[in-house]
Amino acid sequence: MSRPALDPRTGATVTIAWVIIANKPFYPFYVWWLIGDGVGTSAITLAAIPFFLAIPLAARKSPFSARLALPLIGTADTVCESILFGRGSATLLFLAPCMALALVSFHPIEKWWQRGVVCIIFVCFVACWWSLKEPVFPWTGDQIATLSSINVFAIASLMTLIGIRYAGMSS
């Protein structure tokens, strides 16, 4: 017996979740290879993998929950990474893909949920922007610049994937 296909938005959500799950384990290696320090701190980011894994696992039973969870889990993950790496690391910019996901993941009848998620993401941004200064790990100026470059490239890649995956979806 075959399973019914997911609706396009939920299918796109699951795709994005799987890409994040597949790429997250490589982040500490990028840090090790390009910076050479802070690998233990960057390994803490792996704790988010089970939360992202819950999204594709829940998608068939509750498509709405999966679509709601992706930008919210991404936001929580971004806040945690921003606390770890500090404002200078550019991790806070991962809220941009979270916001993009909030803009494309909901059906028109779910606009109040969409508005709520967008507001939550913005409040998290403001709180982090005003409260975060120094990272947990004492990065040097050159290291934080390299970390920022890694993150900005990852953010641009994720935004591109979101744009490609959700392109052409109608209401």
pLDDT value of residue 41: 87
- The pTM score is 0.94
pLDDT value of residue 36: 86
C-beta of residue 52 within 8 angstroms of C-beta of residue 41 = no
pLDDT value of residue 170: 72
pLDDT value of residue 2: 65
In 10 A of CB 32, how many CB atoms?
Answer: 15
pLDDT averages per 10-residue partition of the chain, 171 residues:
82 97 94 87 94 97 97 98 92 97 96 98 96 87 93 97 92 59
